Amino acid sequence: MIDFSAQRTKMVDNQIRTTDVTSHSVQNAFLSVPREDFVPVAMRPLAYIDNDIEVLAATPVCPARFIMEPSPLAKLLQLAEVAETDVILDIGCATGYTSALLSRMGSSVVALESDETLAAQASETVSKLGYDNVAVVQGALEQGYAAEAPYDVIFVNGAVEVLPTALFDQLRDGGRLVVVEGLGNASQAKLYLRENGITAERPAFNTSIKPLPGFRKNAGFVF
């Protein structure tokens, strides 16, 4: 029988702490949330590998969906500086793993997912595990979820080519938005801060993570 608790500890010690993640709230969230419950059953023995885990295959119109590998995910969560009182929007929650992590760090989480199958899985799993401060909603990722705005933190759970201004409008004054902009090895993690109605950008670190659907640039004219 696999000792998943021991694997969680090894993940934090070997994959997260070693990449300059010093936040105790981030480390404790990774130690407490059972990643194995958010991956496909066949992948549970590999739930704690230092890699992305596919949770939905690609289609002709949508890229494959993944649970992000632990080390960049932890660095991005640390960048958000989540406080215990924060209301959080998790964009592209997939099966709900990141939403569960955020629920251990903040006050409440709106988990937005565009795919019906993933949204149903996320809702079932967070409910089964008792994450009662997570509400899973379905909708277009690039539109955010204005019905519950404003948010203290918006976390974009994948790489994007463009970031719609509508998301900034859903940030509370003093709020933070964490995103990875660009695709492939040219990607950069960024923190956006909203103060007095003005949003400022702060580049953070280079990284490469899987893209989210719905955030592609419109094709330009070719002459």
**Which residues of the chain fall short of a pLDDT of 70?**
218-223
Per-residue pLDDT, 93: 98
Per-residue pLDDT, 184: 81
* Number of Cα atoms under 13 Å in the Cβ half of residue 203: 7
Per-residue pLDDT, 186: 79
The domain 4-206 having CATH identifier 2.60.120.260: the answer here is no
Per-residue pLDDT, 58: 93
Total length of the chain: 223
- Distance in Å from the first CA to the final CA of the chain: 61
Per-residue pLDDT, 222: 46
Q: How far is Cα 168 from Cα 203, in angstroms, rounded to an integer?
A: 16
Per-residue pLDDT, 221: 46
Per-residue pLDDT, 223: 46
User: What pTM value is reported for the model?
Assistant: 0.95
List the chain domain ranges.
4-206
Of 139, 140, 152, nearest to 81 by C-alpha is 152
Q: Do the beta carbons of residue 66 and residue 87 sit within 8 Å?
A: no
Per-residue pLDDT, 219: 55
Q: How far is Cα 28 from Cα 195, in angstroms, rounded to an integer?
A: 29
